[in-house]
């Protein structure tokens, strides 16, 4: 194994400058193209499906739309095509390195395109399978980091996983796919280097792997481990430099927000870098294993096509290409750095905007959630709002409860719509906060109004479960009866609920609860504010919402650094389980911050 890794490094090192230059330019270019087309495709599909915005309510319907499926297939094929060109180009480089020859980046790329065309002619449509089965081992690190960074992909994976009926079976199927794809690990060398057709290359790959299974698996695992270590090291080095820069140049009041904003950019950049290193490292190992397994099969020396030879070997032409590429790289870097610095400066300028605090479920980190005790804690913490969740029992009583099922908070395994209020009114809510909160019960909306009137404003989160179509009418009747409308805002994931509120009392502010932010909010007229999961909020969304005269509320923010980041983005309201911590963070404008403290915050 050590010999294979050593030889793999030698063929990388031989033309490392050309490889690095190609990978940087190619990865940046393809990443920009894919992200741009993806955003355009989602926008077109949203418009086609008569959605202005992508939300938790319409996400599954959006994914199942025929046009969305067509776009997904198109993007998968496009990304596989880009990967094929990259693999063919890198193999060209390795063949030159194996023959102890230098190759310039443009020569390498044009020959890679030529190899790609020949492969497609031999493989026909089956080329997709060849590349698809290679993805798990070639692009493991890129997939992990970019799925984490690209919010739409992240949310898609989470949603699909949540709807898998048997997660154990799903994990087993995924494991089998990985093992199955390992069988075709040598299909690319066979098809690209020897010109085999796709299916014959697959068969040859399976036979070769069966003879050398454990050595191949070990080399691939070690290669990916090395890539992982390099990626982590680059990430920590980048974070250290950013934290040092922020400590030296930024005010303590914005330090958390600025460094976290930079860390997101670093996440994206490291994902691209890790993807480039992973592809090169894994391909070099596969290439050298292939060479060894076929008994050091003699490699043909590659010659330039005659019609390109004079141009590509002309030194002046090379210098011009290098100059153009250099200018493009500098331009991309300048735009990126300027954009990052601009956002950092905006973060500094936005620090002193007033951001209100909402105690989530009364402050779920300090007291049993959605109880009178929790509300009292929120009042003591001087939160601006207390958020409570409203459900309806079988007999039409409005109670404060988040989950449809009572089991998590009370131990009673029953759905809210299955029980009468008298059956649950004396049940104690589970308590892990000490004797001070012993004996807390499930409160009614009336009890909450009595406690909160004149003391704290309310964010009433109305839950939709398909069985409570008249819940808004009942809630509005209670609000009117208690004359508490000026202390209430009403939010929900169900947009029709917000419409009903506006029809009955247009003066009560309404909020649309969303997980992610994608699309145009111009048509969401029944919402006065958007309640969005904090890590899906960015400056563009806040700006768009404010231009439309609407507020942005972020949930559920329990980490001090993220609270400060929300404030720097001019978010209007932070919904948190720890209102006392949020109040402290919002008032923090003086003092100093150490390198270690800020570094620890970023890594949490």
List residues with catalytic annotation.
360, 402
Q: Which helix (H) or strand (E) holds 463?
A: none
DSSP per-residue string spanning 137-186 = HHSHHHHHHHHHHSHHHHHHHHHHHHT-S-HHHHHHHHHHHHHHHHTTTT
DSSP per-residue string spanning 42-71 = HHHHHHHTT-SB--TTTHHHHHHSHHHHHH
Q: How far is CA 175 from CA 156, 165, 527, in A?
A: 20, 17, 44
Per-residue buried b or exposed e for 230-256, using 16+ beta carbons within 10 Å of the residue's own CB? bbeebbeebbeebbeebbeebebbbbb
Beta bridge partners, 490, equal 460, 510
What residues have CB less than 8 Å from 447, skipping those under 6 apart? 372
Beta bridge partners, 390, equal 400, 462
Nearest to 565 by CA among 343, 260, 267: 260
The span from the CA of 545 to the CA of 521, in Å, is 7
Residue the block writes with tokens 């720890």: 578
Residue the block writes with tokens 């964010």: 459
What residues have CB less than 8 Å from 525, skipping those under 6 apart? none
Nearest to 452 by CA among 421, 401, 498, 489: 489
């Amino acid at each position: 194994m050590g010999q294979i890794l050593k030889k793999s490094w030698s063929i990388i090192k031989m033309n490392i400058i050309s490889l690095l230059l190609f990978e940087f330019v190619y990865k940046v270019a393809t990443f920009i193209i894919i992200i741009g087309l993806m955003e355009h495709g989602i926008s077109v599909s949203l418009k086609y499906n008569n959605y202005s915005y992508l939300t938790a309510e319409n996400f599954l319907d959006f994914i199942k739309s025929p046009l969305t499926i067509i776009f997904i297939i198109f993007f998968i094929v496009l990304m596989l095509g880009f990967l094929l060109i990259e693999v063919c180009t890198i193999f060209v480089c390795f063949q030159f390195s194996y023959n102890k020859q230098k190759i310039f980046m443009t020569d390498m790329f044009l020959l890679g395109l030529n190899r790609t065309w020949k492969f497609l002619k031999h493989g026909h449509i089956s080329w997709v399978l060849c590349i698809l089965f290679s993805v798990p081992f070639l692009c493991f690190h890129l997939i992990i980091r970019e799925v984490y960074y690209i919010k739409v992909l992240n949310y898609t994976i989470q949603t699909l996983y949540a709807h898998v009926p048997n997660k154990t079976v799903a994990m087993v199927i995924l494991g089998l796919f990985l093992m199955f794809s390992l069988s075709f690990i040598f299909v690319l060398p066979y098809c690209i280097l020897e010109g085999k057709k796709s299916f014959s290359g697959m068969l040859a790959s399976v036979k070769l792997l069966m003879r050398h299974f454990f050595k191949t698996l070990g080399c691939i695992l070690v290669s990916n481990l090395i890539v992982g270590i390099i990626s982590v090291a680059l990430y920590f080095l980048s974070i250290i430099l950013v934290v040092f820069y922020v400590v030296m140049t930024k005010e303590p009041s914005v330090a958390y927000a600025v460094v976290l904003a930079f860390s997101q950019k670093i996440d994206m950049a490291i994902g691209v870098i890790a993807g480039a290193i992973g592809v090169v490292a894994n391909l070099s190992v596969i290439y050298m294993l292939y060479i060894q397994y076929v008994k050091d099969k003699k490699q043909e020396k590659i010659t330039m096509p005659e019609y390109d030879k004079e141009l590509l070997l002309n030194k002046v032409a090379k210098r011009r290409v290098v100059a153009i590429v250099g200018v493009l790289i500098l331009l991309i870097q300048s735009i990126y750095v300027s954009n990052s610095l601009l956002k950092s400066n905006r973060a500094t300028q936005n620090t002193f905007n007033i951001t209100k605090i909402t105690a989530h479920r009364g402050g779920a980190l300090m007291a049993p959630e959605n109880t009178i005790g929790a509300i009292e804690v929120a009042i003591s913490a001087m939160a601006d709002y207390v958020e409570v969740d409203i459900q309806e029992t079988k007999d039409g009583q409005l109670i404060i409860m988040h989950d449809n099922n009572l089991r998590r908070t009370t131990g009673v395994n029953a759905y809210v719509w299955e029980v009468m209020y008298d059956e649950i009114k004396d049940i104690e809510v589970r308590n892990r906060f000490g004797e001070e909160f012993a004996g807390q019960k499930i409160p009614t909306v009336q009890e909450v109004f009595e406690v909160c009137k004149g003391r704290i404003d309310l964010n009433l989160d109305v839950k939709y479960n398909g069985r409570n179509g008249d819940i808004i009418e009942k809630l509005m009747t209670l609000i009117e009866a208690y004359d508490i409308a000026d202390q209430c805002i009403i939010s929900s994931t169900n947009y029709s609920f917000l419409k009903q509120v506006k029809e009955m009392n247009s003066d009560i502010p309404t909020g649309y609860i969303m997980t992610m932010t994608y699309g145009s909010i111009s048509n969401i007229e029944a919402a006065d504010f958007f309640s969005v999961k904090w890590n899906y909020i960015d400056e563009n969304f806040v700006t768009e919402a404010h231009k439309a005269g609407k507020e942005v509320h972020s949930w559920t923010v329990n980490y001090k650094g993220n609270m400060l980041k929300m404030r720097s983005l001019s978010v209007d309201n932070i919904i948190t389980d720890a209102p006392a911590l949020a109040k402290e963070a919002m008032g923090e404008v003086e003092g100093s911050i150490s390198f270690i403290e800020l570094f620890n915050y970023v890594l949490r």
